[in-house]
């Protein structure tokens, strides 16, 4: 038997699980149409076919809260519908047994994502709005009841009903075309895809790039691939762990606060503020409020870097790289706090077990450190020297700020949209387009002067 914790593990919107349509032989009795022991249908004393609909939900799921009143209204308006509203909680463990039994009877793959609907031997997960998801589910169940009712009426009239087919479990068309990507099925893009998309763009962090490139350019003079790989690798690893701890803190705060709308609104407002400050740095570099690494912190940071290049033993190098990474990340986190904020809030709006939350954080941070590892690898391979130019740093700031602002606005006004990774992809594409246009106009207006080393 699965526990509640296992049942409520989820990887996002699973859509509708297809079953093979099969031809059913013409029934001869009512029991042939509606078996007495059926979990899905029944016939009352007036020979009206009833459809059993099982609604699985959790108290903390915001989409369940949206589906519940619609389903109760449909139940009250439909004589033929028998609603079984079953919360998946530790206090109602018998509902877990029911969920497992019905899942096994249908033979579907379901790990407990909610809201979940089972009716007419079909299975659906997720809820958008009564006018969309609700209308589709209601129409499917109504057609199912009408088909069975026609068979029962024909049998009672002594007629031979026409053979029918079982309802195929097919969802609405969820394919769409993306620029440069082509056609994708958005129903299969869920939390894993959202994680990879946001982490991938979060990885292009101007503060992290500035520090790592400066550090490696100093290490080039040591002409030691082992030293570069060791110090660079430790720096990247500690940066990833620090970022994980930072995101875990946000996650725990949002879990404690729960799915309150004002919390989501506040998270969106903070993300927009951070995004606007980063965008400001493109136009007013080193002027006004900024989330860049403070000028006063840089002398101590550079001193640590130079000390690393002269470390004579492996323990000294390891400790030096570790302390430098901790010091740098205490400032670096502010550069890109908006995306982790949006992501962790979106994560907590999905009702998942604790292990799944941290699994997603681990995936996010793995993707986050990949570009930094690539930089270390290229430097070790080429023993090259490269600094982040001011123009490049400003452009990265503009891009990340535009993305944070866009995602923050979505979190403010339409947080449900972030359930679909397509939203994040479209925001990223829009941010890249806006950034490209601004940079192009800026170069045409200001010209293209020689770059200086960025100060992030």
Q: Residue for token digits 């604790």? A: 354
What integer pLDDT is reported at residue 259 of this predicted model? 53
User: What are the phi and psi torsion angles at 179 (to 5°)?
Assistant: -60, 135
The answer, yes or no, to whether the previous bond of 115 is cis (omega within 30 of 0) is yes
Burial class (CB in 10 A: 0-12, 13-18, 19+), 439: middle
DSSP code string of 296-320: GGHHHHHHHHHHHHT--SHHHHHHH
Q: Taking Cα atoms as reference points, which of 244, 47, 224, 234 lies closest to residue 153?
A: 47
How much is the CA Rg of the chain, to the nearest whole Å?
28
What integer pLDDT is reported at residue 76 of this predicted model? 92
Helix (H, G, I), strand (E, B) or coil at 240: helix
User: Percent helix, strand and coil across the chain, each rounded to 5?
Assistant: 65, 10, 30
What integer pLDDT is reported at residue 53 of this predicted model? 94
Tokens of 191: 């939390």
139: enclosing H helix or E strand: helix 135-156
Count of H-run helices and E-run strands, the chain? 15, 7
Q: Where are the domains of the chain?
A: 4-172, 182-446
What integer pLDDT is reported at residue 178 of this predicted model? 42
Q: Taking Cα atoms as reference points, which of 336, 247, 337, 286 lies closest to residue 452?
A: 286
- Cβ(356)–Cβ(251) under 8 Å? no
Tokens of 269: 């407002």
Mean pLDDT for each consecutive 10-residue tract of the chain (456 residues)?
Answer: 34 34 51 73 84 88 86 92 88 85 81 81 84 88 85 75 48 43 49 82 67 60 69 82 88 72 73 80 72 55 59 68 69 64 77 81 90 77 58 72 79 69 75 88 72 47
CATH class of 4-172: alpha beta
pTM, rounded to two decimals: 0.49
User: What are the phi and psi torsion angles at 384 (to 5°)?
Assistant: -90, 170
What integer pLDDT is reported at residue 292 of this predicted model? 55
What integer pLDDT is reported at residue 174 of this predicted model? 43
Tokens of 50: 């009833």
Tokens of 260: 């309150």
């Amino acid at each position: 038997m699965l526990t509640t914790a296992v049942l409520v593990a989820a990887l996002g919107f699973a859509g509708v699980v297809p079953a093979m349509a099969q031809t059913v032989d013409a029934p001869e009795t009512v029991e042939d149409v509606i078996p007495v022991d059926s979990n899905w249908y029944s016939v009352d004393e007036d020979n009206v076919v009833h459809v059993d609909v099982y609604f699985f939900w959790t108290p903390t799921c915001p989409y369940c809260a949206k589906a519940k009143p619609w389903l109760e209204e449909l139940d009250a308006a439909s004589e033929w519908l028998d609603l079984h509203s079953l919360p998946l909680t530790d206090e109602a463990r018998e509902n877990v047994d029911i969920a497992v039994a019905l899942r096994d009877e249908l033979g579907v793959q379901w790990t407990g994502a909610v809201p979940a609907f089972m009716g007419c031997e079909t299975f659906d997960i997720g809820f958008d709005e009564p006018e969309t998801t609700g209308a589709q589910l209601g129409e499917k169940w109504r057609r199912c009841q009408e088909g069975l009712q026609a068979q029962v009426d024909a049998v009672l009239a002594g007629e031979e009903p026409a053979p029918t087919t079982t309802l195929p479990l097919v969802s609405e068309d969820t394919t769409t075309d993306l620029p440069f990507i082509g056609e994708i099925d958005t129903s299969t893009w869920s939390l894993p895809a959202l994680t990879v998309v946001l982490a991938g763009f979060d990885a292009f962090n101007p503060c992290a790039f500035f520090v790592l490139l400066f550090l490696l350019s100093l290490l080039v003079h040591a002409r030691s691939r082992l030293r570069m790989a060791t110090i660079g690798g430790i720096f990247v690893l500690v940066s990833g762990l620090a970022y994980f701890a930072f995101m875990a803190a946000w996650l725990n705060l949002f879990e404690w606060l729960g799915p309150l709308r004002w919390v989501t609104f506040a998270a969106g407002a903070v993300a927009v503020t951070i995004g606007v400050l980063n965008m400001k740095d493109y136009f007013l570099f080193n002027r006004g409020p900024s989330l860049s690494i403070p000028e006063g912190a840089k002398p101590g940071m550079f001193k640590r870097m130079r000390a690393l290049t002269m470390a004579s033993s492996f323990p000294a190098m390891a400790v030096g790289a570790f302390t430098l990474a901790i010091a740098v990340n205490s400032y670096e986190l502010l550069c890109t706090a908006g995306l982790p904020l949006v992501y962790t809030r979106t994560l907590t709006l999905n009702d998942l077990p604790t292990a799944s939350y941290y699994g997603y954080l681990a995936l996010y941070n793995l993707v986050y450190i990949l570009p930094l590892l690539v930089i270390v690898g290229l430097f070790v391979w080429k023993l090259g020297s490269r600094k982040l130019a001011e123009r490049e740093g400003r452009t990265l700031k503009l891009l990340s700020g535009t993305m944070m602002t866009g995602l923050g606005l979505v979190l403010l006004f339409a947080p449900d949209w972030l359930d679909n990774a397509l939203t994040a992809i479209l925001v990223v594409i829009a941010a890249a387009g806006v950034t490209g246009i601004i940079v192009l106009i800026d170069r045409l207006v200001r010209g293209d002067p020689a770059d200086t080393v960025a100060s992030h």
